[in-house]
């Protein structure tokens, strides 16, 4: 098996474990060219064309991928056990509480006629979330916009 990722993100013990399991680690940048080679050599490549980007589809050549069914991985990811469901509910509740705190602070600033930028909104929302139990980091930056930036 081969996995494509950033070598720098793996601890030496993980790299050693993968090597022992006969898993080749290659740079993510090599994925499209490897896919192209596999397709050219007649290997069967399974591609979920609804979830893959067009560049990867083109890398398969004129005939496209040999197997285009949906990946079973996507459906397995959406199945949650009781513990995962409870964790999601708790996370949403904590985030909802953080958003209430952030919106309250923003409302105060607006009523005080203080200028508020999109960056201010990001900092206020992030600070409110960071105070919540279990906070590690944002999964993505706050998307805030108003007027011409909305």
Model pLDDT for residues 3-34, shown as the tens digit of each residue: 888 888 889 999 999 999 999 999 989 988 88
Q: Does pLDDT of 39 surpass 90? A: no
Q: What is the pLDDT of residue 121?
A: 93
Q: What is the pLDDT of residue 150?
A: 65
Length of the chain: 150
pLDDT digits (tens, 9 = 90+) for 67-121: 777 778 878 888 899 999 999 999 999 999 999 999 999 999 999 999 998 899 9
Q: What is the pLDDT of residue 76?
A: 83
Q: Radius of gyration (Cα) for the chain, nearest Å?
A: 23
Q: Label residue 42 by pLDDT band (50, 70, 90).
A: confident
pTM score, whole prediction: 0.55
Contact partners, residue 71, CB within 8 Å, separation at least 6: 46, 48, 51
Q: What is the pLDDT of residue 107?
A: 96
Q: Residue 117 CA to chain centroid, in angstroms?
A: 27
Please say whether the dihedral angle defined by the alpha carbons of residues 114, 119, 122 and 127, taken in this order, is positive or negative.
negative
Alpha carbon distance 107, 101 (integer Å): 10
């Amino acid at each position: 098996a081969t996995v494509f990722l950033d070598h720098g993100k793996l601890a030496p013990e993980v790299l050693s474990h993968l090597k022992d399991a006969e898993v080749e680690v290659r740079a993510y940048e090599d994925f499209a060219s490897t896919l192209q080679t596999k397709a050219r050599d007649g290997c069967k490549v399974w591609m979920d064309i609804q979830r893959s980007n067009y560049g990867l589809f083109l890398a398969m050549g004129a005939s496209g991928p040999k197997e285009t069914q949906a990946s079973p991985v996507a459906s397995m990811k959406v199945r949650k056990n009781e513990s995962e469901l409870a964790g999601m509910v708790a996370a949403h509740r904590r985030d909802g509480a953080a958003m209430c705190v952030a919106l309250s602070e923003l409302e105060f600033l607006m009523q005080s006629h203080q200028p508020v930028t999109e960056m201010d909104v990001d900092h206020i929302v992030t600070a409110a979330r960071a105070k919540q139990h279990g906070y590690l980091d944002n999964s993505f930056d706050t998307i805030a916009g108003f007027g011409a930036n909305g």
